[in-house]
């Protein structure tokens, strides 16, 4: 940008740089825009110099981020100027200010065409650059033939032809149906004979795009590509300017080998022999050196050569050389080289007869699981998963189970799923499979999907010889002091069905098993209680002769939950009390579960359907070989009770070549089926109704029935409206967005509200997922500050475009999100840190407004961020000597507030204590003389309150667990009110559609109506709540 002589432009830029704040800059820009607009109105009096100067100013203002809604016509008119300085300004500003759909571009087509067909090479380059940058449909229709003529013209200089090739490539990619390339096979073959490497490299890029759509037309180009590779490998006639650190034009080598991968094979024996000689030279001539730039170039060529070797099904000797070379890379200190070695070794697994060669490096691959770099650990996991078979399954699965103890939280879900698939697919016997799955659930409970424990339950139910062994193992795990809820589920089901097989073992009497299971009841969630009630009923039924003491204990539990506010729990309790009074008839009603309909594992089926991650969207047509395995496959049969077969529930597909973030890919076979939305409604895409099915496990454990992915058209009473009038249920209230805004072409995977609630209690997990993207969160909180990292993972082999993320913070949070890239590459993950500062106490929520484009779909979602009030709490232990003076000093409103809370979810005192602990409130036992009361303390951090001690007292009534009296005392009126309301929201069981602020004491209003109305984050969070 030549600014010499433009004093006015230089002064304007200097003024902008000297502005002290944004407001001064805006005022200076507005003044300049007004001046430019005035001068443009009197266009006849403008000289070319003045018009050029003012257009430069417009461009500079546009680059500063201000809207420029005039002057485009003046910029377009400069394209027709006869002199280079004015024409250059016109082309640059037009390409920046106008997009391909702008109406003013039509006025420039003729001027651009005149420059293209003219004789001035400088003007031709400017015109080709503009057309390539904009690439609109009208440009393609009008100018593509002229660009093609320039490319094939022998009278044009190489610089122009090179730009013409790149311009034509851009037009073809944007509008393949408009650019006519019929009969271009001979022309492309002629272009590949070009001696100038600049033109040859650009032409090769064009060839890659052409053969990707239709390789059959360009067979004549294949031998030309082989000759180019041979010329480069022998370094024949390569100008010094195209030699990069001693490597002849590595970019052209990579593009040429990529083009060859689109052809099925090389039929000419001479060409094939020459090609293999070139590849052999590349394999043997590549080594690791200290120069990073040379390493990057040589390895780019090498790994493209490896992909071509796999594509051509080279001899086993060359494959062995490839694996040996990659194995050597695993021992290099440079992490990037180790990563590439693991990634390409994973790709080579898809070639026949290579797996045994890769097994020689199993010890090095296992060592890579402990690498400091998480991306290397992920690639090592993918490789171990792919190379596993019957011979090494035990070793690999045991290594994965050991690695679970130290694995990153971001990897544990993927790791546990892959370990479960391998254990099932290559299990030498069923008892080993049960051991592995139970260890897996014990070590990674939060990250084990329900499908995994459903599957082990199916195997135990269908194999009588396995039932005593499974019952013994389940009983052993119950002795552990800390047990995950999923393990409690498995143990409760197995012992409920088969504990009678252990009756003669010490410690396994019905009463002892009931006692140890009942000890877990206070620690489980509401959804787990129906499972335990079913287990109690089964134990009671199988206790012969009847134990009156045990019977009374179980009946008392049933009576306790008869009035439970949870419908499922209440129904189970009422039904089991009625059934238990039927005497001998109970034995028939509560008999063992019948065998499940035998079917092939959905986990294994999805694993075998996983797509390979290949260059240029499956350019390498590798033939995946079916592995022989001893997978646990069941044969189809009808259950004994004549029920129809259980519908096969599937799991989301794990991509073996997935990139960072543990990203999963949705099964394409589920497309077209009903889609269960996050708000509990069912959107039917396929007009064909699903076949009726009965889920026996679901009938026992409902609503914990085996649940498929969002594509499964499964309706239940929980998915329907909660009443005849269609009153919104909890799922609808906590939906992703209001109903009128849910117009996205894709539906989220999983329940958005459940994911949000889970992240309110933990600091890492998945916030949102759909078939294209996964948004994860990892947070750190210290005092009044927090750092949240958003992990945006692209799950597909195509990029996500127009990515935008906007944070709508409430007034009490100061939030700053780092730059979000507009494009997320295929199979890639980006990290976007979000800094948070808590200014004052409030329950309002921040909202992430996230949008992206995939293909023709534009997806926009609004997600609540788990920057909730309890994240700024720090539990603190308070002794009686410290508590009571503080409690007495905070006397009366507004520092001490008391409220009788009704509609509380019925729970024991221990359950309530666990709930409060999960929200960072420390229970202080013994402070309150009444054993039915709880006293808790914590410290709240914000900029306005600093470290503020918070004291809470909860008085319960043993005869009525649905109400309690709560007292909250702090040194800040707003904090007292907000903390009281926050705790109350966690205790009551029925959420409201929108949170109306409770009436605060007249002495201190925590928030003003004006603040609420003017806070967009709070308003949007209220809609989403």
Reported as a pLDDT band with limits 50, 70 and 90, residue 445 is confident
Reported as a pLDDT band with limits 50, 70 and 90, residue 715 is very low
**Closest Cα to residue 72, out of 57, 58, 86, 87?**
58
Is residue 830 within 8 A of residue 663, CB to CB? The reply is no
Is residue 414 within 8 A of residue 377, CB to CB? The reply is no
Is residue 281 within 8 A of residue 248, CB to CB? The reply is no
Tens of pLDDT, residues 869-897: 888 998 888 888 888 888 888 877 788 88
Q: Both tokens of residue 605?
A: 């089926």
Distance, CA of 55 to CA of 75 (rounded, Å): 6
**What pLDDT does 203 receive?**
92
Distance, CA of 159 to CA of 475 (rounded, Å): 78
Element (H, E) at 315: none
Is residue 288 within 8 A of residue 329, CB to CB? The reply is yes
From the centroid of its chain, how far is CA 9?
A: 47
**What pLDDT does 1003 receive?**
41
Q: Is 236 helix (H, G, I), strand (E, B) or coil?
A: coil
Task: Compute φ and ψ for 877, nearest 5 degrees.
Answer: -85, 130
Distance, CA of 934 to CA of 951 (rounded, Å): 11
Number of helices followed by number of strands (H, E) in the chain: 41, 20
Task: Compute φ and ψ for 776, nearest 5 degrees.
Answer: -110, 165
Is residue 778 within 8 A of residue 789, CB to CB? The reply is yes
Point out which residues pair with 835 in neighbouring strands. 787, 816
**What pLDDT does 205 receive?**
92
Q: Is 408 helix (H, G, I), strand (E, B) or coil?
A: coil
Q: Both tokens of residue 748?
A: 């989220």
Reported as a pLDDT band with limits 50, 70 and 90, residue 253 is very high
Distances (CA, A) of 8 to 78, 519, 713, 787: 19, 82, 67, 45
Q: Both tokens of residue 2?
A: 């030549």
Q: Pairing between strand 946-957 and 933-942?
A: antiparallel
For the ranges 24-33, 34-43, 143-152, which has the lowest average pLDDT? Answer: 34-43
156: CB partners within 8 A, 6+ apart: 121, 124, 150, 164
Tens of pLDDT, residues 914-957: 888 888 888 888 788 888 888 999 999 998 888 888 999 898 88
**What pLDDT does 605 receive?**
63
Is residue 811 within 8 A of residue 1015, CB to CB? The reply is yes
The pLDDT of residue 611 is above 80: no
DSSP letters along 962-1016, please? EEEEEEEEESSHHHHHHHHHHHHHHHBSS--SS-PPPPPPTT--SS-HHHHHH-H
Q: Pairing between strand 675-676 and 664-665?
A: unpaired
Is residue 977 within 8 A of residue 1001, CB to CB? The reply is yes
The pLDDT of residue 644 is above 50: no
What share of the chain in percent tops pLDDT 70?
81
**Closest Cα to residue 678, out of 722, 716, 717, 731?**
731
Is residue 271 within 8 A of residue 223, CB to CB? The reply is yes
Please state the rounded mean pLDDT for residues 476-497.
87
The neighbour count for residue 269, using CB atoms within 10 Å, is: 8
Cα-trace Rg, the chain: 34
DSSP letters along 382-403, please? HHHHHH--TTTHHHHHHHHHHH
**What pLDDT does 255 receive?**
93
**Closest Cα to residue 904, out of 982, 977, 980, 964?**
964
Reported as a pLDDT band with limits 50, 70 and 90, residue 1022 is very low
**What pLDDT does 570 receive?**
92
Q: Is 121 left (phi over 0), alpha (psi -120 to 50) or beta?
A: alpha
Reported as a pLDDT band with limits 50, 70 and 90, residue 456 is confident
Reported as a pLDDT band with limits 50, 70 and 90, residue 251 is very high
**What pLDDT does 743 receive?**
60
From the centroid of its chain, how far is CA 237?
A: 49
Distance, CA of 68 to CA of 65 (rounded, Å): 9
Distance, CA of 558 to CA of 575 (rounded, Å): 9
Q: Both tokens of residue 365?
A: 């691959």
What share of the chain in percent tops pLDDT 90?
10
Distance, CA of 682 to CA of 732 (rounded, Å): 12
Q: Both tokens of residue 311?
A: 């594509």
Please state the rounded mean pLDDT for residues 984-998.
55
The neighbour count for residue 188, using CB atoms within 10 Å, is: 22
Tens of pLDDT, residues 177-192: 877 777 788 888 888 8
The neighbour count for residue 379, using CB atoms within 10 Å, is: 25
Tens of pLDDT, residues 828-853: 888 899 999 999 898 888 999 999 88
The pLDDT of residue 347 is above 50: yes
pTM of the model: 0.53
Q: Both tokens of residue 226?
A: 């082989």
Looking at residue 635, the DSSP 8-state letter turns out to be P
The most distant pair of C-alpha atoms in the chain lies apart, rounded to whole Å, by: 111
**What pLDDT does 604 receive?**
66
The pLDDT of residue 738 is above 90: no
Give the chain's length.
Answer: 1025
**Mean pLDDT, the chain, integer:** 77
Distance, CA of 882 to CA of 875 (rounded, Å): 15
563: CB partners within 8 A, 6+ apart: 570, 906
369: CB partners within 8 A, 6+ apart: 377, 380, 381, 384, 399, 403
Distance, CA of 156 to CA of 151 (rounded, Å): 8
Reported as a pLDDT band with limits 50, 70 and 90, residue 680 is very low
**What pLDDT does 258 receive?**
92
Looking at residue 807, the DSSP 8-state letter turns out to be E
**What pLDDT does 739 receive?**
33
**Closest Cα to residue 566, out of 803, 911, 198, 827?**
911
For the ranges 104-113, 560-569, 695-704, 805-814, which has the lowest average pLDDT? Answer: 695-704
Task: Compute φ and ψ for 961, nearest 5 degrees.
Answer: -80, 0
Q: At what angle do helices 48-63 and 7-17 cross, to 10 degrees?
A: 20
**What pLDDT does 396 receive?**
92
Distance, CA of 986 to CA of 989 (rounded, Å): 8
Which comes out higher in pLDDT, residue 482 or 365? Answer: 365
818: CB partners within 8 A, 6+ apart: 832, 833, 834
Tens of pLDDT, residues 741-765: 446 778 888 888 888 888 888 888 8
The pLDDT of residue 166 is above 80: yes
173: CB partners within 8 A, 6+ apart: 135, 209
**Closest Cα to residue 592, out of 701, 504, 496, 704?**
496
Is residue 171 within 8 A of residue 147, CB to CB? The reply is yes
The pLDDT of residue 272 is above 90: no
Whether residue 545 is preceded by a cis peptide bond, meaning omega within 30 degrees of 0, is: yes
The pLDDT of residue 2 is above 80: no
Distance, CA of 777 to CA of 833 (rounded, Å): 10
Which comes out higher in pLDDT, residue 349 or 624? Answer: 349
The torsion of the CA quartet 873, 875, 878, 884, rounded to 10 degrees, works out to: 30
Distances (CA, A) of 368 to 408, 421, 557, 779: 14, 21, 51, 26
């Amino acid at each position: 940008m030549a600014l010499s002589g433009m004093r006015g432009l230089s002064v304007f830029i200097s003024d902008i740089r000297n502005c002290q704040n944004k407001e001064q800059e805006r005022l200076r820009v507005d003044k300049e825009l007004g001046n430019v607009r005035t001068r443009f109105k009197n266009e006849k009096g403008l000289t070319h110099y003045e018009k050029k100067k003012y257009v430069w100013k417009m461009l500079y203002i546009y680059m500063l981020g201000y809207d420029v809604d005039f002057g485009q016509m003046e910029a377009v008119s400069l394209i027709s100027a006869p002199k280079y300085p004015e024409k250059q300004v016109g082309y640059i500003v037009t390409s920046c200010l106008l997009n391909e759909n702008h109406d003013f571009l039509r006025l420039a087509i003729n001027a651009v065409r005149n420059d293209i067909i003219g004789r001035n090479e400088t003007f031709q380059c400017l015109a080709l650059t503009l057309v390539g940058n904009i690439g609109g449909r009208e440009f393609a229709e009008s100018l593509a033939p002229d660009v093609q003529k320039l490319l094939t013209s022998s009278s044009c200089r190489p610089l122009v032809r090179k730009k013409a090739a790149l311009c034509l490539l851009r037009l073809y990619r944007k509008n393949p149906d408009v650019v006519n390339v019929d009969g271009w096979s001979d022309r492309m073959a002629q272009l590949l004979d070009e001696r100038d490497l600049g033109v040859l490299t650009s032409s090769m890029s064009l060839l890659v795009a052409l053969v990707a759509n239709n390789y059959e037309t360009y067979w004549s180009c294949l031998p030309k590509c082989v000759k180019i590779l041979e010329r480069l490998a022998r370094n024949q006639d390569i100008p010094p300017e195209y030699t990069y650190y001693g490597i002849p034009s590595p970019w052209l080598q990579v593009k040429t080998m990529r083009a060859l991968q689109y052809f099925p094979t090389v039929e000419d024996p001479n060409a094939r022999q020459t090609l293999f000689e070139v590849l052999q030279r590349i394999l043997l001539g590549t080594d690791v050196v200290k120069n990073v730039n040379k390493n990057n170039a040589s390895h780019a060529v090498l790994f493209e050569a490896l992909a071509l070797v796999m594509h051509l099904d080279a001899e086993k000797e060359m494959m062995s050389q490839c694996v040996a070379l990659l194995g050597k890379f695993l021992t290099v200190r440079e992490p990037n080289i180790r990563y590439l070695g693991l990634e390409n070794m994973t790709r080579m697994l898809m070639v026949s007869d290579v797996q045994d060669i890769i097994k020689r490096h199993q010890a090095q691959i296992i060592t890579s699981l402990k690498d400091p770099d998480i991306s290397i650990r992920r690639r090592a996991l993918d490789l171990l998963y792919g190379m596993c078979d019957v011979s090494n399954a035990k070793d690999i699965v045991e290594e994965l189970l050991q690695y679970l103890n130290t694995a990153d939280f971001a990897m544990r879900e993927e790791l546990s799923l892959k370990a479960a698939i391998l254990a099932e697919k290559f299990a030498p016997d069923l008892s080993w499979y049960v051991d592995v799955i139970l260890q897996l659930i014990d070590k990674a409970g939060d990250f084990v999907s329900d499908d995994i424990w459903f599957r082990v339950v199916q195997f135990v139910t269908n194999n009588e010889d396995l039932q005593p062994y499974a019952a013994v193992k389940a009983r052993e795990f119950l002795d552990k002091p800390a047990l995950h809820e999923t393990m409690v589920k498995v143990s409760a089901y197995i012992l409920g069905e088969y504990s009678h097989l252990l009756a003669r073992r010490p410690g396994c009497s019905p009463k002892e098993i009931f006692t140890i299971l009942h000890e877990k009841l206070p620690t489980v969630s509401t959804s787990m209680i129906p499972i335990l009630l079913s287990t109690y009923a089964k134990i009671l039924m199988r206790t012969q002769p009847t134990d009156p003491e045990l019977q009374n204990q179980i009946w008392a539990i049933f009576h306790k939950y008869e009035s439970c506010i949870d419908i499922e729990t209440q129904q189970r309790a009422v039904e089991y009390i009625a059934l238990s009074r039927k005497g001998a008839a109970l034995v028939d009603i509560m008999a063992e579960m019948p065998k499940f309909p035998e079917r092939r594992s959905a986990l294994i089926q999805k694993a075998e359907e996983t797509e390979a991650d290949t260059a240029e969207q499956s350019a390498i047509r590798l033939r995946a070989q079916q592995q022989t395995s001893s997978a646990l496959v069941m044969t189809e049969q009808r259950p004994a009770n004549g029920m129809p077969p259980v519908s096969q529930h599937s799991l989301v597909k794990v991509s073996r070549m997935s990139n960072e973030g543990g990203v999963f890919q949705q099964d394409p076979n589920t497309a077209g089926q009903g889609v269960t939305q996050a708000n509990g409604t069912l959107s039917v895409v396929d007009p064909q109704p699903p076949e009726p099915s009965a889920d026996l496990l679901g009938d026992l454990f409902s609503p914990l029935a085996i649940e498929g992915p969002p594509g499964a058209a499964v309706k239940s009473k929980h998915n329907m409206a909660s009443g005849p009038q269609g009153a919104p249920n909890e799922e609808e209230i906590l939906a992703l967005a209001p109903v009128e805004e849910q117009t996205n072409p894709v539906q989220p995977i999983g329940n958005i509200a459940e994911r949000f609630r889970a992240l309110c209690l933990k600091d890492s997990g998945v916030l949102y997922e759909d078939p294209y993207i996964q948004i994860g969160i990892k947070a750190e909180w210290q005092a009044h500050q927090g750092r949240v990292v958003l992990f945006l993972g692209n799950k597909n082999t195509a990029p996500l475009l127009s990515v935008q993320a906007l944070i709508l913070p409430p007034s009490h949070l100061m939030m700053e999100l780092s730059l979000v890239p507009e494009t997320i590459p295929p199979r890639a993950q980006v990290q976007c840190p979000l800094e948070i500062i808590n200014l004052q106490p409030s329950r309002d929520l921040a909202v992430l407004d996230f949008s992206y484009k995939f293909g023709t779909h534009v997806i926009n979602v609004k997600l609540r961020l788990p920057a909730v009030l309890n994240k700024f709490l720090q539990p603190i232990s308070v002794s009686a000597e410290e508590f009571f003076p503080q409690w007495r000093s905070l006397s009366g409103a507004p520092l001490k507030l008391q409220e009788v809370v009704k509609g509380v979810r019925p729970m024991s005192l221990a359950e309530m204590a666990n709930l409060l602990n999960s929200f960072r409130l420390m229970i202080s036992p013994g402070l309150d003389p009444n054993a039915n009361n709880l006293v808790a303390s914590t410290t709240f951090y914000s900029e306005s309150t600093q470290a503020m001690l918070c004291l809470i007292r909860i008085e319960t009534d043993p005869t009525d667990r649905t109400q309690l009296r709560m007292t909250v005392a702090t040194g800040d009126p707003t904090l007292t009110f907000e903390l009281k309301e926050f705790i109350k929201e966690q205790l009551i069981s029925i959420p409201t559609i929108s949170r109306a602020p409770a009436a605060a004491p007249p002495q201190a209003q925590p928030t003003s109506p004006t603040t609420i109305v003017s806070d967009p984050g709070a308003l949007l969070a209220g809609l989403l709540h």
